[in-house]
Structure 1
Amino acid sequence: MTDTHEAAQALVTAGKRLVDAGLSPGSSGNISARAGDDILLSPTGSALDRLDPDGLTVLRLDGALIKGPRPSKEYPLHLAFYRRSTQTAAVVHVHSPYAAAASLLPAWRPHSALPPLTPYFVMRVGQAPLIPYAAPGDADQARLIERHEMAFRAVLLQNHGPVTSGRTVEEAVDATIELEEASRLAILTAGQRVNVLTAEQARSLAEQYGSPWEV
């Protein structure tokens, strides 16, 4: 995404969608989009359904404030995803209930906190590793995400919640919704014997849809 106005409007729409879906209560969560070399980010303490396209924070990739109000303290998470890939055009971080609950549990595997319970999780999210706990806004945690050798477009922050990215704002929001749904299924079936996709089924979907998934 290269147009600042387009990016700002997309964030306003995305914020309302996330709140309407029940994924960002109160002033929790933060969202961002890339516009050329700039990063547009929801300001600190913002309710995502009340974002002003002219009142967003604008940062450089090095974290320097270009204009606008003070950014969310969790802006290093966003910058980490942008630095990982030039294909990343948007980042969403919310405290959605089921994904936050899933972040309290042991990871299914080192490469993904959640198993491939549905094809849509593999297709729209891909593997989402569990990142060790750190206080919100911790720069070391952001650096761990930025330098992580594993391929991913989303993570679960332990005892915190999800962070997803996408090639568009809409794609990042879709991934957030899908990650929440996969987390809901994982919580509802916890302790039960469930059928997950086989390694070959997950690999085939990942290859078809270009999503990261290690076997």
Structure 2
Amino acid sequence: MTESRAREDLTRFAKSLFDRGYSVGSSGNISVAVEDGILITPTNSCLGFLDPARIAKLDRTGRHVGGDKPSKEIFLHQAFYDTRPGTGAVVHLHSTYATALSCLADTDPEDAIPPLTPYVVMRVGRVKLLPYVRPGDPRMGEMIRALNGSHAAVLLANHGPAVSAGDLATAVFAAEELEETAKLVTLLRDRPTRHLDEAQVQELVRVFGAGR
């Protein structure tokens, strides 16, 4: 994919997320790997009104080489690229239900999004809840690096989800699946709930190469 196409695709997917309420105001950030670096949404930009030409570009060392100033969350993006070979995109949102789960005291830090449906297993995998640090704190990246590539997606406590995948479309769809499952978790709270059992999860892992 050319850099020009990557910029256009990033802009298009970002607007789609914004238009459907997965991101509000200037929240959230998205990055895409290109041949000689990373494209990432600028700091304090709105996902609904991006200018492809102004999307920030970093080289392979993380140095800002073009476009507007990059998102302050660049540390978490770089951590996924560096620890999960084949990562082509990272989506970080403040989507409502996933963020709500990240604020609840009883959310399981080792399995924040339970296997309610096959699709959350197939597209997202096991989601770890990471402790709170302020937005833009480099420790956010350090915590993701400490996972050694074991998780494609995480919940940042009191902040929101971050999802990585091999390409932009897959990362966006996984972020959407995570949010919809978080919504189901919220709707089903305090009600008897049937989760997929371990055998069913392992079948999905075997057949679809899911990440759980």
The interval holding the TM-score normalised by the smaller chain is: over 0.9
Match of 1:70 in 2: 69
168 and 150 in structure 1: CA distance in 2 versus 1, 3 angstrom threshold: closer
| 1-structure distance, mates of 2:66, 2:149 | 34
Does the Cα contact within 8 Å between 2:109 and 2:130 map onto a contact in 1?
Answer: no
Deviation of the 1:209 alpha carbon: 1.7
User: What is the distance in 2 between the residues matched to 1:43 and 1:27?
Assistant: 10
User: 1:26-175 maps to which residues of 2 (within 5 A)?
Assistant: 26-105=25-104, 106-108=106-108, 110=110, 112-149=111-148, 151-175=150-174
Which digits, 9 at most, give the CA deviation of each residue in 1:8-33, with x for residues without a partner? 11101111111122101111111110
Q: Check conservation: 2:98, 2:155, Cα contact below 8 A.
A: yes
Q: In 2, distance between residues paired with 1:140 and 1:61?
A: 20
Q: Distance in 1 between matches of 2:60 and 2:151?
A: 20
CA contact under 8 A between 1:63 and 1:76: conserved in structure 2?
A: no
Is the 8 Å Cα contact of residues 61 and 83 (structure 1) preserved in structure 2?
no
Which letter does structure 2 place at the counterpart of 1:145? I
Bigger shift: 89-98 or 200-209? 200-209
What TM-score do you get using the length of structure 1 for normalisation? 0.94
**Within 5 Å, which residues of 2 pair with 1:14-25?**
14-25=13-24
How far 1:207 sits from its partner (Å)? Answer: 2.3
State how far apart, in whole Å, the 2-side matches of 1:211 and 1:151 are.
12
Letter of the 1:166 partner, please give it.
Answer: A
Counterpart position of 1:183: 182
Aligned length: 211
* CA distance in structure 1 between the aligned counterparts of 2:17 and 2:75, rounded to whole angstroms: 21
Structure 2 contact 131–157 (Cα < 8 Å) conserved = yes
8 Å CA contact 2:94–2:160 kept in 1: the answer is yes
Change (3 A) 1:175 1:88: same
C-alpha offsets along residues 60-96 of structure 1, whole Å, 9 cap, x if unaligned?
Answer: 2432111111111111111111111231101101100
Q: For structure 1, which runs of at least 5 residues remain unmatched after alignment?
A: none
**What percent identity do the matched residue pairs reach?**
42
Q: Partners in 1 of 2:94 and 2:33 — Cα distance?
A: 22
Following superposition, the deviation at residue 192 of structure 1 comes to: 1.8
